[in-house]
Amino acid sequence: MRRTVTILGATGSIGRSTRAVIAENPEQLQIAALVAGRDAVGLARIARETGASFAAIADEGQGGELAAALAGSGIRHGAGREAVLEAVERDSDIVVSAISGAAGLEATFAALTPGRVVALANKESLVCAGAAVMGRARAVGTRVLPLDSEHNALFQVLGAEPISAVRTMTLTASGGPFRTWSAERIAGATPEQALAHPNYAMGAKITIDSASMMNKGLELIEASFLFGLGAEQLEVLVHPQQIVHGLVTFRDGSVSAGMAVPDMRVAAAHCLGIDGRLDAPPSRFLDLVAAGPLVFERPDLARFPALRLAMAALAEGGAAPAVLNAANEIAVEAFLAGRIGFPAIPALVEAVCARARSVSRPPADVAEALAVDQDARNRARALLSEGGFAVT
């Protein structure tokens, strides 16, 4: 029997990788529903190509465009929050959570239903409300499989070992386009330079996060909730080739590495295969000799302060990660819009975190997480409009 897959964030980079794996395995996998944010025409095209039964666009204003683009197809569709939730609630064995940012939290949470697999790429869901998301998954019996490549590697390496066997988990980072740049040069980085990721073609937000290394900080927080480890057991190594995605050091000194070519279709295939393995085409097999020497470096927290801030939020716990994430989303938006320079991203995040009301309890549910998120966004916007971070 073919497994059915609903994709949240179908028009994005992870959506594309997921669709590619499904297209490679038509006997095993079939699309159920699709969700996108604003790209109605792209969503309609994908829905027609994949034979989806339902397509939802989050932006209400795009409903007419989606209806026009799907006219005559027989594909049911809707627009706005209710339509997104309808897509999630429709029958499917696997939900791929790949909306960008905290905007993905509500739909991801709604996808946690008994017996389902949620393949989680949307790390911000765990950063904002990790305790609530993982608690609900356990309570209702949803399997959360990490689609983020580092976490997917760590998950596979851990296998059936108990988490008590683990001394540390190491997440690798490419180091982004500014890995070898001086702090002075990074200070003048343009959006175009920051968007030039060395290994992956990803959405704009995660690409900027990779350049600032905030992405690795968000991933540390994600890992802490996925695996139940504290900050002191989670480490980062810069590894520009991105062949080793994660390392597990066990208590007896054994170290196991999760490796693969840097291609998100590998992690997507693992999640979509659930307990079996799907076949990959030859280009997706790792040739270690061709990959050349593998380099590992310690992250430089002075040149990449965003990683330091995320580590501090992880150590602080409570609502601190949700505040950090919201401030970062506003800062990245402002940087991409040319309103602030690159160093103002961590500076704004730090300022918002410093002013945030200290909430020691993690958000208990989506509503609480979104309230913290909104409050931090308001603070970030207020600081931006005061002008202290503006590009001169």
Ligand X SMILES: NC(=O)c1ccc[n+]([C@@H]2O[C@H](COP(=O)([O-])OP(=O)(O)OC[C@H]3O[C@@H](n4cnc5c(N)ncnc54)[C@H](OP(=O)(O)O)[C@@H]3O)[C@@H](O)[C@H]2O)c1
Instruction: Identify whether the C-beta of residue 82 lies closer than 8 Å to the C-beta of residue 60.
Output: no
Decide whether 10 or 271 has the Cβ nearer to ligand X. Answer: 10
Pairwise CA distance, residues 147 & 194, whole Å: 24
Q: How far is the CB of 15 from ligand X (least distance, A)?
A: 5
Assign 177 to helix, strand or coil. Answer: coil
Q: How far is the CB of 169 from ligand X (least distance, A)?
A: 17
Decide whether 100 or 156 has the Cβ nearer to ligand X. Answer: 100
Token pair of 293, please? 């020497």
Beta strand 244-250 with 255-259: parallel, antiparallel or unpaired?
Answer: antiparallel
Decide whether 6 or 122 has the Cβ nearer to ligand X. Answer: 122
Pairwise CA distance, residues 89 & 355, whole Å: 38
Q: How far is the CB of 120 from ligand X (least distance, A)?
A: 9
Decide whether 148 or 351 has the Cβ nearer to ligand X. Answer: 148
Catalog residues that contact ligand X under the rule CB under 6 A. Answer: 9-15, 35-39, 58, 84, 98-100, 103, 121-124, 148, 200, 202-203, 206, 264
Q: How far is the CB of 170 from ligand X (least distance, A)?
A: 17
Decide whether 57 or 351 has the Cβ nearer to ligand X. Answer: 57
What dihedral do alpha carbons 364, 370, 373, 374 form, nearest 10°? -140
Residue 97 is classified by DSSP as: E
Tokens 């693992």, located at residue: 270
Q: How far is the CB of 4 from ligand X (least distance, A)?
A: 19
Decide whether 195 or 257 has the Cβ nearer to ligand X. Answer: 195
- Please return the burial class of 20, using the count of CB atoms within 10 Å of its CB with bins 0-12, 13-18 and 19+: middle
Pairwise CA distance, residues 279 & 281, whole Å: 7
Q: How far is the CB of 132 from ligand X (least distance, A)?
A: 17
Dihedrals phi, psi of 290, to nearest 5 degrees? -65, -30
